[in-house]
A and B are shown apart, each in its own frame.
Chain A
């Protein structure tokens, strides 16, 4: 089958790929970019473990799009959240609040949480439930995930203060 060349910017790196018509964005992320943090779960859009963020920081299900649909676009995967070896505040929150058990859903859950917090930095309970409804966790019962999300804003401010202090 004919391959097409496309460009995709992943976590700030623009690259070219040769893809099939039938490849999904998830296939490219895992098999060609080689970033396996984003997981393959139900492949039908219900479980959310394939969640990445688009260039507006919104949660996108990478299993439900043709790769070619994203030609020229920019995405962020779980691997792109850390900066200079430092965890993003939401990742730090997940660690602090014990929101990870088996860890399989964690990339999708964190990217979903990140998108939620991009839109609502201090989300209400309803906004958390609404924003996270599209991703499932079989281990944690979502309790500590929500604790982590609720504490993201505070942790983020603390990390900013710490960075300013360290710079001074």
Chain B
């Protein structure tokens, strides 16, 4: 599979890069996701992959891998940790500050793909991971023998034929940890800078799944200090480099059974991470004893929303989500 024709650009600074994005990405409305004139690339493990399949066909590719401004990992005065979006996953997994202060993020980073991928893939790239679908994630030749879908400019979904939107799945691991850590993203363009919580960044739409507008790029991730217990679990068909069938991140304060603040998020079963509410309220009232955990687990049934049979049957995903939530809550309690 050859890469589609495009021009490659390698700016030497962030400001040069943002100017370039503004020049190249002009004239496209925020909803014209598939008509991208420009795609930023860092490690390339997702961008090149999608270009091989002909799903990304940008006219221009802008390399941000070497931008020095995106390489930092620093501790701010208030104890927050700020990470450049261009940091390699392998470097973050080995970073002293991160390992000591944010173990749940390290768990998520270690779970990403393989060592080969983590040696060049970046945190920003994982946060901006494209959604996936067993139908569409095949070669252009394979798809040429069939109808298109929403992602390939046909008004049709092969997973849910009656659907009006794309249901491709978001399989990214790190966003789950970042959400329970209450992290926020710095997004820059030539026009300015904005901050958005990771929890607010994703939309349950397989195509427009991120709040990222023309000319914008993710530059930094800021994580407030966290002393709470936190855990990340990933469930894959095989140990190794599979994308997860389901994954969960959880956080709670207190010790043992006692807790007054809980966060839970389930990933890989839908187009966006699912931030759970009901089970957290139950646990905050009743603590982390076995009965409370069981009640909380059963309550997620109503919070998952419509799940598709994509990659696993919806009934399986619902059951998997319950199992993962149960396991992660027990793990939190056992952290002490």
Contact = CB atoms under 8 A, between A and B. Distances in A.
Contacts of A24: 3, 48
Interface of A: 1, 4, 21-22, 24, 43-46, 48, 51, 54, 58-61, 63-66, 68-69, 71, 112, 115-116, 129-131, 133-135
Contacts of B43: 64
Interface of B: 1-8, 10, 41, 43-45, 48-49, 52-53, 61, 63, 65, 90, 113-117, 119-120, 239-241
Given A1-B5, A21-B7, A68-B10, A59 B44 contact: no
Contacts of B241: 46, 133-134
A60 B116 contact: yes
B24 to A, nearest CB: 14
Contacts of A71: 10
Most B C-beta atoms less than 10 A away, residue of A46, A58, A66, A131: A66
A61 B45 contact: yes
B45 A66 contact: no
Which of A43, A45, A116 counts the most B-chain CB atoms under 10 A from its CB? A45
Nearest to B120: A60
A43 B120 contact: no
A69 B45 CA distance: 13
Contact of B49 (A21, A51, A64, A134): A64
A22 B61 CA distance: 10
Contacts of B5: 1, 22
Contacts of B53: 44
A66 B61 contact: yes
Contacts of A22: 2-6, 8
Given A64-B45, A64-B49, A69-B63, A54 B119 contact: yes
A138 B239 CA distance: 17
Contacts, number: 86
Contacts of A51: 116
9 contacts: A21-B61, A43-B1, A44-B1, A48-B116, A64-B45, A64-B48, A112-B116, A129-B239, A133-B241
A131 B115 CA distance: 6
Nearest to A40: B1
A135 B44 contact: no
A19 to B, nearest CB: 9
Nearest to A51: B116
B99 to A, nearest CB: 16
Given A60-B119, A63-B48, 6 more contacts: A21-B6, A21-B7, A22-B2, A22-B5, A60-B120, A133-B241
Contact of B45 (A45, A58, A68, A133): A45
Nearest to A46: B241
B119 A44 contact: no
Contact of A133 (B6, B10, B114): B114
Q: List 6 A-B pairs, minimum CB-CB distance, nearest first.
A: A134-B114, A134-B116, A21-B8, A133-B240, A22-B3, A58-B119
A54 B43 CA distance: 13
Contacts of A112: 116
B44 A44 contact: no
B44 to A, nearest CB: 5
B239 A45 contact: no
A120 to B, nearest CB: 11
A14 to B, nearest CB: 19
A42 B162 CA distance: 33
A161 B32 CA distance: 64
Contacts of A46: 241
B110 to A, nearest CB: 8
A129 B241 CA distance: 11
A63 B53 CA distance: 13
Contacts of B61: 21, 66
A134 B115 contact: yes
B120 to A, nearest CB: 6
B59 to A, nearest CB: 11
B44 A64 contact: yes
Nearest to A73: B66
A112 B90 CA distance: 15
Contacts of A60: 116, 119-120
